[in-house]
């Protein structure tokens, strides 16, 4: 797998994660306006959006065309309350961790530093949503 391929996988994960956080934002705005969960979701959305934009720039810098987001994504279960929102956020962050863990192994230098930071940040966000702390984030998520 090339560095561009690895970044494409990360970008695809970010597209899906942004969609998922959009779903969470709407549900949390209705169920728990102003709550710490709503603030956490809004912050995570901005962080993932910024990372998506950085990935797009890096992929273009490698003379590749970035993958585009799907029109929509199916949620793996019904999102009806705060517990479901937290569960979805943990799942989204877990998928990102797995993509970034693979990318760390396939990249070098500045790109590796980027994906390693993204892996760390996703692991931290996951724990804020209630995911267990693990020694090797992203590897156990498969």
Domain CATH code at residue 44:
1.20.1260.10
Is residue 121 included in any domain, yes or no? yes
Give the mean pLDDT of the chain: 94
Is residue 137 included in any domain, yes or no? no
Is residue 82 included in any domain, yes or no? yes
Distance CA 142, CA 18 (A): 20
Is residue 110 included in any domain, yes or no? yes
Distance CA 133, CA 131 (A): 7
User: Can you give the pLDDT at residue 139?
Assistant: 72
Domain count, the chain: 1
Instruction: Indicate if the pLDDT at residue 122 is higher than 80.
Output: yes
Number of residues in the chain: 142
**For residues 53 and 141, which has the higher predicted lDDT (pLDDT)?**
53
Contact between 48 and 18 under an 8 Å Cβ cutoff? The reply is: yes
Taking only the tens place, the pLDDT of each residue in 40-89 is 999 999 999 999 999 999 999 999 999 999 999 999 999 999 999 999 99
Q: What are the backbone dihedrals phi and psi of residue 98, each rounded to the nearest 5 degrees, phi first?
A: -65, -45
Is residue 141 included in any domain, yes or no? no
Contact between 118 and 93 under an 8 Å Cβ cutoff? The reply is: no
Is residue 47 included in any domain, yes or no? yes
State which residues form the domain around 62. Answer: 3-128
Strands annotated E in 5-99? none
Distance CA 74, CA 63 (A): 31
Distance CA 55, CA 70 (A): 17
Instruction: Indicate if the pLDDT at residue 141 is higher than 70.
Output: no
User: Can you give the pLDDT at residue 1?
Assistant: 86
Is residue 42 included in any domain, yes or no? yes
Q: What value does the mean pLDDT take over residues 107-128?
A: 96
Contact between 107 and 48 under an 8 Å Cβ cutoff? The reply is: no
Q: What value does the mean pLDDT take over residues 24-44?
A: 93
Is residue 104 included in any domain, yes or no? yes
User: What is the sign of the dihedral through the CA atoms of 124, 76, 82 and 41?
Assistant: positive
């Amino acid at each position: 797998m090339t560095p561009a391929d690895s970044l494409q996988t990360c970008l695809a994960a970010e597209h899906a994660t942004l969609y998922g956080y959009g779903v969470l934002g709407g549900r949390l705005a209705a169920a728990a306006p102003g709550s710490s969960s709503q603030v956490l979701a809004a912050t995570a959305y901005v962080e993932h959006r910024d990372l998506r934009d950085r990935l797009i720039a890096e992929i273009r810098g490698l003379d590749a065309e970035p993958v585009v987001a799907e029109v929509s994504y199916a949620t793996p279960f019904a999102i009806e309350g705060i517990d479901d929102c937290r569960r979805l956020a943990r799942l989204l962050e877990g998928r990102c961790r797995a993509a970034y863990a693979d990318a760390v192994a396939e990249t070098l230098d500045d790109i590796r530093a980027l994906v390693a930071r993204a892996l760390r940040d996703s692991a931290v966000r996951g724990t804020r949503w209630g995911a267990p702390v693990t020694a090797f984030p992203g590897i156990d998520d498969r």
